[in-house]
Amino acid sequence: MTNSVSYTIMVQTNSGSTDPVTLSVSGQPSGANVSFSTNPVVPGNSSVLTLGGLTSVAVGNYVLNVEGMNASGNANLQLNLEVLDNCTSTCNTFT
């Protein structure tokens, strides 16, 4: 099992706002750590969400909720993380 997975999040706004968007995540497995490569993010740019410490988390399916918030409002993105046991590096998957 790999110790981490990464997902690139592109930040855009419908309102044309250029206010930076602060990202947060909830729903990650107990024992996992979360980091963003850039936070807050200026719309039109991206940030890489990395979940680490996955070798110590319980096997199962997890629904992660990524929220982006700025002065203009907020938006949510759901990601599914499946942690399998006794696998190669392809076992942790995002959808």
Give the model confidence (pLDDT) of 61-90 as tens digits: 999 999 999 988 999 999 999 988 755 555
Higher-pLDDT residue of 23, 85: 23
Q: Are 47 and 24 in contact (CB under 8 A)?
A: no
Listed residue (6, 12, 14) closest to 33, CA to CA: 6
Average confidence score pLDDT of the chain: 88
Alpha-carbon distance of 73 to 48, in angstroms, equals: 21
Given a cut of 80, is residue 38 above it in pLDDT?
A: yes
Which pLDDT score is estimated for 37? 98
Percent of the chain with pLDDT over 70: 88
The pTM score is: 0.84
| Model confidence band, residue 20 (pLDDT cutoffs 50, 70, 90) | very high
Alpha-carbon distance of 61 to 58, in angstroms, equals: 9
